[in-house]
């Protein structure tokens, strides 16, 4: 995606090794990144704005579970996140 995220992926990989686990370096697809940023934006504009980072985290967990259950490419993952984000956007403000 960019130099920052390439470096961050390597950090996650090295940290996992210190926990005795070898993981593949996490990569962030630009389409998926855009949907995650949009999700955080939507959540940040609700009454629970401080939950925006946690919303992104739970999206990551959900995406990984989707990938475990069914092989999903970046396009499908972006659509999955977009579906939930758009549903949140349609909800009336609290």
**Mind listing the pLDDT tens digit of every residue in the chain (94 residues)?**
789 999 999 999 999 999 999 999 999 999 999 999 999 999 999 888 999 999 999 999 999 999 999 888 999 999 999 999 999 999 887 6
Q: Are 21 and 36 in contact (CB under 8 A)?
A: no
The CA angle 27-30-31, to the nearest 5 degrees, is 120
- 11 C-beta neighbours (distance < 10 Å), count: 11
Phi-psi region for residue 20, left (φ > 0), alpha (ψ -120 to 50) or beta? left
Residue 35's contacts (CB-CB under 8 Å, 6 or more residues apart) are 77, 78, 81, 82, 85
């Amino acid at each position: 995606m960019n130099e920052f995220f390439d470096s961050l992926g390597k950090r996650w990989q090295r940290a996992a090794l210190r926990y005795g686990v070898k993981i593949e370096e996490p990569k962030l697809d630009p389409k998926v990144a855009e949907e995650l940023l949009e999700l955080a934006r939507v959540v940040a504009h609700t009454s629970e704005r401080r939950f925006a980072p946690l919303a992104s985290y739970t999206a990551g967990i959900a995406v990984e579970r989707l990938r475990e259950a069914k092989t999903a490419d970046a396009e499908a993952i972006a659509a999955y996140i977009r579906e939930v984000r758009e549903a949140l956007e349609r909800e009336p403000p609290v």
